[in-house]
Amino acid sequence: MILSGLRYVIRQFKARVKEALENGCGSCTDKQKAGAKKVIRYLMKNKPDWWKELNDRFDPDGKYKAKFDAFLKEAEAVA
């Protein structure tokens, strides 16, 4: 049961990550933004190698870096 729930979350993440990167999570709900911020902070602090791998995979040329940095600053201001 837990694995099937995790698989669902992973599928949802993969389906939406490109769109979220392209528009700075502009179409995300407040709940989705809060969840993303929580996960991002955790990965950056506790799993930097995973964080780097995600960046390398979903934004290898840094195309979305400016938008993503703005999203992170917003996340830090809220935290």
Query: Chain-wide mean pLDDT for the chain?
Result: 78
Mean per-residue pLDDT, 24-42: 81
Location of structure tokens 């990167």: 21
Options 1.10.3720.10, 1.10.760.10, 3.40.50.720, 1.10.2080.10; CATH for 2-78 is 1.10.2080.10
Q: What pLDDT does residue 46 have? A: 92
pLDDT score of 24 more than 80? no
Mean per-residue pLDDT, 12-41: 79
Describe the crossing of helices 65-78 and 2-23 by its angle, rounded to 10 degrees. Answer: 110
**Cβ count within 10 A of residue 20:** 21
pLDDT score of 75 more than 60? no
